[in-house]
Each structure stands twice: as C-alpha cells, then as structure tokens.
Amino acid sequence: MPKITFADADGDTRTIEANVGDSVMETAVRNGIGGVVAECGGSLSCATCHVIVDEHDFASLPPMEEMEDEMLWGTAVDRTGTSRLSCQIRVTEDMDLRVTLPETQV
C-alpha cells in the first residue's frame, strides 16, 4: 500500500497508509494531520495545504501546473525549492512519499 510520511515543524512524524487516487491533502485531512488545513477542500484556491517535499522524492512527482506554482507564492510560510500544494499530489501505486509541514498554513 502507498505510504505518506508527514513530519511536522517540530520533527515529529506520522506515517499513513494512503489510497491510490486520493490526494496527499485528502490523506492528511481525513486522518487528522493538523498541519494541513485545506480550507478550499482541494480546489486549488487557498494555498493552505502547503507541504515541503523531501528532496529525493520531489523529482519523482509529476511537475506542477502554472496555477499551483502561482498559488505557492501566497503560502503563509515562504515556499522552498521543493514546496508543493498537497491537494495537487495524487497518491500512486507504490508511493512512499515524505513531506514536511510548514509551521503554519494561515
């Protein structure tokens, strides 16, 4: 089963078994990962599901669309080189993704 590991800003981690086809955001929110807010429910409108993807995993993800790239300029914590909006990352077969959550989303 695909796995997503969420590390919060303090370094505490939690690994969740995810469903193929769900987004990383949905996986986080339904399981109560507090560091993902996702006000807009995944419609790419709010930039409150910001995650910083592990550098080794980042290149393996499909590239982001322009809209996501623009939204990332408005995150509460400034974007880094491997920032993504987790609502735009689809869980795939055999995924083993590690992401870090920013200190705040709003």
Partner 1 sequence: MGENGLLIVGSSQAGVQLAVSSRALGYAGPVTLLGDENHRPYQRPALSKDFLQDKITKESLIFRSQEFWDEHRITVVKGERIEKIVTAPDGAGTAWSASGRAFPFDRLALTVGARARRLDVPGAGLDGVLYLRNADDALELKARTAGAERVVVIGGGFIGIEAAAGLHALGKRVTLLEFADRLVARAVGTETSRFLLDHHRRAGIDIRLGSAVDEIVGHDGKVRAVRAGGEEIAADIVLVGVGVIPNTELAEEMGLRCDNGIVVDHHAVASDGTTLAVGDCANLPNPVPGSCAGERVRFESVNHAIEQAKVAAHALLGRQEEYGGIPWFWSNQGDLKLQIAGLSSGYDRTVVRSPADPLKHSVLYYRGDRLIAADCVNVPLDFMAVKQALTRRVTLPPDAVADPAVPLRSLLAEAAAPHEGNLS
> Binding residues for partner 1, per CB under 8 A?
22, 26, 29-32, 34, 37, 39-47, 67, 70-71, 73-74, 106
Least separation in angstroms between CB 7 and partner 1: 19
CA distances from 89 to 10, 46, 67, 104 (A): 23, 15, 14, 20
| Cβ nearer to partner 1, comparing 13 with 45 | 45
Least distance to partner 1, CB of residue 56, Å? 28
- Please state, in angstroms and rounded to a whole number, the distance separating the CA atoms of residues 29 and 40: 12
Of 44 and 61, nearer to partner 1 (C-beta) is: 44
Complex with partner 1: residue 34 or 60, whichever CB lies closer = 34
- Under a CB-based contact definition with an 8 Å cutoff, are residues 50 and 106 in contact? no
- What one-character DSSP code corresponds to residue 64? P
CB of 104 to partner 1, least distance (A): 11
Count of alpha carbons within 13 angstroms of residue 88, beta-carbon side:
24
